[in-house]
Amino acid sequence: MNKLVRFGVSLEQQLLKAFDKHIEHKQYPNRSEAIRDLIRDELVGQEWSDNRETVGTITLIYDHHKPDLARQLTDAQHQFGSLIISNTHVHLDHHHCLEVIIVRGKSQKVQTLANVLISTKGVIHGKLTMTTTGEKLH
């Protein structure tokens, strides 16, 4: 384990109050762990912005009754097949489906796949969530 280093941070009172509310809402045990999490999040985000190996999920909500939509989504996934680890499809109601696609690859290619899927006509909502192992952060 790395050596623990203590340092001070100066904040405006209102900002600290807002941060303490955030900590309480997220159920962090203390400010230190919340700050560590924020720092890790920023550094992991930097890793995938540098086109490094990433993992993530692409989440889609769509109406499966839209003509040709399922085929278009499947074709796009086949085109980027080397990035896709797994895919889960859930029927939410008579019209709507949730699809979660687990991906792994260079961040720019993963982002391109997500853009293609999310921008497909008939997709109601989509979101890409990427991360890395963060191995350099501990």
* 91-110 pLDDT per residue, tens: 999 999 999 999 999 989 99
Separation of alpha carbons 56 and 132, rounded Å: 8
> What does pTM read for this prediction?
0.78
User: pLDDT value at position 108?
Assistant: 92
- pLDDT value of position 27: 94
Model pLDDT, residue 133: 65
Beta bridge partners of 61: 98, 125
Low-confidence stretches of the chain (pLDDT < 50) are none
